[in-house]
Amino acid sequence: MGFVLFLMAALWGLGWVMKTPPKARLVMIGLVYIAVVTAQVVLPEGAELRRATGGDARPWLVLGGVVALGFGYMVLIRRLRAKTPKTNPQAPIPGTFREAELNRYARHIVLREIGGAGQKKLKAARVLVIGAGGLGSPALLYLAAAGVGTIGVVDDDVVDGSNLQRQIIHKDDTIGMPKVFSAQAAMEALNPFITVRPYHRRLDAESAQALFSDYDLILDGTDNFDTRYMVNRAAVAAGVPLISAAITQWEGQISLYHPASDAPCYECVFPTRPAPGLAPACGEAGVIAPLPGILGAMMALEAIKEITGAGEGLRGRLLIHDALYAETRSMRVKRRKDCTCCMPAKAIAEMPA
């Protein structure tokens, strides 16, 4: 029996030296095994060949069974591994951070109002920013820097040279590029650990509500009242909080609107559009360069507070900033019982005349 085992080992070693495929070597060893077992079973008990190969078939059958079990176990493990989805060992487990992210967000994590739990909320958050202009530029950059996991940006405009005085997310070499793609490049260059969704189109009432429903928070940085009212109505219908800001010349204002949490909606505070010429757009009235940066950064700050639950936000308060005289003040704002946007029609109808 020992001679046969030595022969099998020699065949394997010779095949390895000659670089014979493992399957061919196994076939040769298997043929030797079959020949030995056949000799033990077929030849009479006193045959010379039978004595030379052990004289008994039972040890060979036991050996064959052990080898078969081992081989079957290996095949089973390989099949199980093949069915297991392949994962990238460098990819983080959902809800966790890579080491580079922990270092990046360290200044947030040490803040007791945010900490690791708050940073996880930011990573899981989905924020949509309407407009990649003066207000959207700083808001988008700070949301990206803060680690908001998914950031959408809607804008149908392209970068123009006149934008660069205040729209800091864009560059001279992106003039002519759609703003959403210019903004996407800047955000991804700043933070590769986030997902940016660019929507190069004009937002309309038909698609706004469906789009808003896919996000946790909306930031409106548009520069005209028609869009602001439309965004407000879509946010109310989707039940999503809205942070809206506006600027002109040296002044800006910002608030968080969310009737679902008993805060007013935008129409509660501004039920009618201002008279023509009373609130001209920046293109007509002008705007000091850092002002959209101040209000846009406030938008990002209020978004972070809303997501993490830190501090007291602007729900139910309108903050007004006068940059020319370095004054900031806030006033309380409430829901209007006759608001046609956020109050049920039945409640309005039952109001006393």
For residue range 93-125, list pLDDT tens digits in order.
Answer: 556 789 999 999 999 999 999 999 999 999 999
Domain-wise residue ranges, the chain: 2-83, 125-349
DSSP H/E element including 244: strand 242-248
For position 158, what pLDDT does the model report?
A: 97
Percent of the chain with pLDDT over 90: 61
Q: Where are the alpha helices (DSSP H) in the chain?
A: 2-17, 22-42, 48-52, 57-83, 99-104, 106-109, 115-124, 136-146, 179-190, 205-212, 225-238, 266-269, 282-285, 290-308, 345-349
Q: Are 138 and 235 in contact (CB under 8 A)?
A: no
pLDDT classification of 169: cutoffs 50, 70, 90? very high
- The DSSP code sequence of 175-225 is TTSBHHHHHHHHHHHH-TTSEEEEE-S---HHHHHHHHTT-SEEEE--SSH
Q: Are 256 and 315 in contact (CB under 8 A)?
A: yes
Residue 16 has pLDDT above 80, yes or no: no
Domain topology for 125-349 = Rossmann fold (3.40.50)
Q: Please, which residues have CB within 8 angstroms of residue 314's CB and are 6 or more apart in sequence? A: 243, 254, 255, 256, 302, 330
Alpha-carbon distances, residue 152 vs 66, 185, 294, 300 (angstroms): 61, 13, 21, 14
Pairwise pLDDT comparison (10 vs 342), residue with the higher score? 342
The per-residue pLDDT for range 36-68, each reduced to its tens digit, is 777 767 777 667 766 666 666 677 677 777 777
- The region of weakest confidence among 126-135, 182-191, 338-347 is 338-347
Q: What is the DSSP letter of 137?
A: H
Q: Is the pTM of this model over 0.85?
A: no
DSSP H/E element including 318: strand 317-322
Token pair belonging to 127? 């924020």
